[in-house]
C-alpha cells in the first residue's frame, strides 16, 4: 500500500472507513430505469406530477456547498447535472456523499427540473454509493492527452474522452451496416476456425502455437479465405465472415498484428461485379453514417459517389506515378530501367510482377486519395486469383485504394485445382528457401477444389481501415479498443507511465 501515490492511499483509507463505519459492500441491487439523456429530454413538470428517474453514473464534476451540492454524472449516453440536498437524501447518505471523489459511481433517484441558471438537471430524492473510485481520473477528466497512456489504459480514455466512445459506436454501426447489406443479398454469415494446420489464404508471416492434446503445432489464421471457399464448394453459394485475423508483422499507423477482416464469397460473380457490389455497399454505409457521400479525412476530401475510377496497376504507374511512356513496363527490362530512373529498390529484381508492385508502392499508392479500384495485378503476387484471359501475366483482381491505403482486395477465384496446386507448390518452394510469408500446400483445400468450385468472386475488406476513414482517425490504434503495444517491464503501470 505504501508504494501507492498519496491520493490513492487517501481513497483506500476512505474505502476502509466506509466498510467499517457505514457497512459499504459494493451493492449490486441496482434498478436503473433511465439514462442521463432521458432526463435531459424529459418534460419538466411540478414535483408532485413529475415522473421519477433512477439513473446511475460516474461523478466527473463535484461542487459541495455545505448542506447541498451539485455534481455531474456521466453514463453511457452523456453527462447530467444533479442537485443534492441533505434534507432530501437523508443524514447517512449525505454523510457518505460528503466524502465522494471524482470517479465514484452513484445511483440517484429524482425528477427533472431547471436550475436558476437555466440548466436542466435532476433533483435528487435519494442517492447511493455503488462503487468507490480508488484511482483518481486525469486531473482534467475531459482532457486525457497522453497518446500512449490512452491506448494502454483504454478504460480511462473512454471515461475521459467522449469522442473516443463515439468512434466505437460508429464502428459498431459500420459493422451492422455491412451485415445488413450482405444479409439482404442472401449471404449467410458463418464462422470458421481460428486455429489451422496450414497458414493459407494470404501472403503473411503467421503466429505459431502448440496444441498439447494433439502434440502438434498450429497456426493462428492469416485469412478467412480457404475455409469460406470450401463452403461454396459445399453448396453455400453466398457466405461471409467478420473475424479476427493474426499476422506476425510490425506495428504502424496502418498495421496491427491482430485485426478484423470481412471476407465474402459468391458463386457466379466475377471481380467486375464485385466492384459494383463494393461501390454500392460502401456508398450506402458512408451516407447512412455520415449523412453525405463526401467526407473529410485528415484534411483531404474523399468522395464516395459512384462510379469510382478503375485503373490497372500498370496504367496507374504511368498516369498517376508519372513514369514516362518510353519505359515499357510490360517487360522486366522496362521495369528495371524505370526503377533505376525513379530510384525504386526492387526486392526481387528477377520477378516482373513483384518488381512492378515495388514501383506501384513507391510511386503511386500514396497519391490515390478518393476511392479507386486498382485492377489487373501481376500473376506472381496473386496466388489465388484467376489469370486474365487476354493477358495471362496479370489476374482478374482488384484492390480498393482510399487515402493511400488498401481497404479491399478481391478477385475472380482460381477454381482450377491443377493450376492451384502448381501455385501452392511454388509458394512452398519459396518458403523452403526462407520466405517466412509463403505458405505450405493446403491439401484439403485442393481436395475441395477437385470436387468442383463454381466460378466464384471473393473479397476481403479491412474493417479497421474502413473505420479509420469514416471516423477521421489517423492511426489504426485509434479504432481498436485494445491495440497491440510494447509490454511494460514494470508491473506498476502508474509508475511506469
pLDDT at residue 299 above 80?
yes
Distance (Å, rounded) from C-alpha 464 to C-alpha 457? 22
pLDDT at residue 55 above 90?
yes
Distance (Å, rounded) from C-alpha 423 to C-alpha 493? 48
* Range name among 55-69, 143-157, 177-191 with the lowest pLDDT average: 143-157
pLDDT in tens, 60-100: 999 999 999 999 999 999 999 999 999 999 999 999 999 99
Mean pLDDT over all residues of the chain?
94
pLDDT in tens, 12-47: 999 999 999 999 999 999 999 999 999 999 999 999
Looking at residues 376-388, what average pLDDT do you find? Answer: 93
pLDDT at residue 138 above 90?
no
Distance (Å, rounded) from C-alpha 459 to C-alpha 456? 10
Ordered strands of the 258-267 beta sheet:
188-189, 238-246, 258-267, 456-462, 405-412, 397-402, 372-375, 310-312
* Range name among 266-270, 290-294, 435-439 with the lowest pLDDT average: 435-439
Looking at residues 199-226, what average pLDDT do you find? Answer: 94
Q: What is the pLDDT of residue 496?
A: 34
Q: What is the pLDDT of residue 436?
A: 82
Q: What is the pLDDT of residue 294?
A: 98
Q: What is the pLDDT of residue 497?
A: 41
Looking at residues 177-196, what average pLDDT do you find? Answer: 98
Q: What is the pLDDT of residue 108?
A: 98
Q: What is the pLDDT of residue 427?
A: 86
CA 66 to chain centroid, in Å, comes to: 47
| Domains of the chain from N-terminus onward | 6-131 (2.40.50.140), 162-309+370-478 (3.30.930.10)
pTM across the whole model: 0.92
| Higher per-residue pLDDT: 124 or 149 | 124
Amino acid at each position: 500500500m505504501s508504494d501507492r501515490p498519496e491520493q490513492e492511499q487517501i481513497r483506500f483509507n476512505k474505502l476502509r472507513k466506509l466498510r467499517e463505519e457505514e457497512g459499504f459492500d459494493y451493492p449490486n441491487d441496482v434498478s436503473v430505469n433511465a439514462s442521463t439523456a432521458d432526463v435531459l429530454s424529459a418534460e419538466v413538470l411540478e414535483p408532485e406530477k413529475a415522473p421519477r428517474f433512477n439513473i446511475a453514473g460516474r461523478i466527473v464534476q463535484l461542487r459541495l456547498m455545505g448542506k447541498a451540492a451539485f455534481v455531474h454524472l456521466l453514463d453511457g449516453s452523456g453527462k447530467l447535472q444533479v442537485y443534492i440536498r441533505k434534507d432530501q437524501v437523508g443524514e447517512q447518505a449525505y454523510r457518505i456523499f460528503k466524502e465522494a471523489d471524482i470517479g465514484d459511481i452513484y445511483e440517484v433517484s429524482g425528477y427533472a427540473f431547471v436550475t436558476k441558471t437555466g440548466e436542466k438537471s435532476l433533483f435528487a430524492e435519494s442517492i447511493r454509493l455503488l462503487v468507490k473510485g480508488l484511482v483518481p481520473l486525469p486531473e482534467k477528466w475531459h482532457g486525457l492527452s497522453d497518446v500512449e497512456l490512452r491506448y494502454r489504459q483504454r478504460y480511462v480514455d473512454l471515461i475521459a474522452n467522449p469522442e473516443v466512445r463515439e468512434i466505437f459506436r460508429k464502428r459498431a454501426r459500420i459493422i451492422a451496416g455491412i451485415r445488413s447489406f450482405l444479409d439482404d443479398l442472401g449471404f449467410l454469415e458463418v464462422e470458421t476456425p481460428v486455429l489451422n494446420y496450414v497458414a493459407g489464404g494470404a501472403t503473411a508471416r503467421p503466429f505459431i502455437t502448440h496444441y498439447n492434446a494433439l502434440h502438434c503445432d498450429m497456426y493462428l489464421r492469416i485469412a478467412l479465405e480457404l475455409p469460406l471457399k470450401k463452403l461454396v464448394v459445399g453448396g453455400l453459394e453466398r457466405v461471409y465472415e467478420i473475424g479476427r485475423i493474426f499476422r506476425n508483422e510490425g506495428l504502424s499507423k496502418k498495421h496491427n498484428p491482430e485485426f478484423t477482416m470481412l471476407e465474402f464469397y459468391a458463386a457466379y460473380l466475377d471481380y467486375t461485379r464485385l466492384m459494383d457490389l463494393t461501390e454500392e455497399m460502401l456508398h450506402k454505409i458512408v451516407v447512412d453514417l455520415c449523412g453525405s457521400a463526401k467526407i473529410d479525412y485528415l484534411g483531404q476530401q474523399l468522395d464516395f459517389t459512384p462510379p469510382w475510377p478503375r485503373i490497372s496497376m500498370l496504367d496507374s504507374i504511368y498516369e498517376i506515378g508519372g513514369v514516362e511512356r518510353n519505359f515499357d513496363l510490360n517487360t522486366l527490362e522496362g521495369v528495371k530501367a524505370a526503377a533505376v530512373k525513379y530510384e525504386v529498390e526492387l526486392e526481387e529484381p528477377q520477378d516482373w510482377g513483384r518488381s512492378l508492385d515495388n514501383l506501384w508502392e513507391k510511386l503511386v499508392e500514396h497519391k490515390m486519395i478518393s476511392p479507386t479500384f486498382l485492377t489487373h495485378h501481376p500473376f506472381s503476387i496473386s496466388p489465388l486469383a484467376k489469370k486474365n484471359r487476354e493477358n495471362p501475366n496479370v489476374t482478374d483482381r482488384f484492390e480498393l485504394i482510399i487515402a493511400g491505403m488498401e481497404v479491399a482486395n478481391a478477385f475472380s477465384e482460381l477454381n482450377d485445382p491443377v493450376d492451384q496446386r502448381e501455385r501452392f507448390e511454388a509458394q512452398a518452394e519459396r518458403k523452403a528457401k526462407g520466405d517466412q510469408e509463403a505458405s505450405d500446400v493446403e491439401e484439403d483445400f485442393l481436395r475441395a477444389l477437385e470436387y468442383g468450385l463454381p466460378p466464384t468472386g471473393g473479397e476481403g475488406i479491412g474493417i479497421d481501415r474502413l473505420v479509420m476513414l469514416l471516423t477521421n482517425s489517423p492511426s489504426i490504434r485509434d479504432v481498436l479498443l485494445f491495440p497491440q503495444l510494447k509490454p511494460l517491464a514494470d508491473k506498476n503501470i502508474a509508475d511506469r507511465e
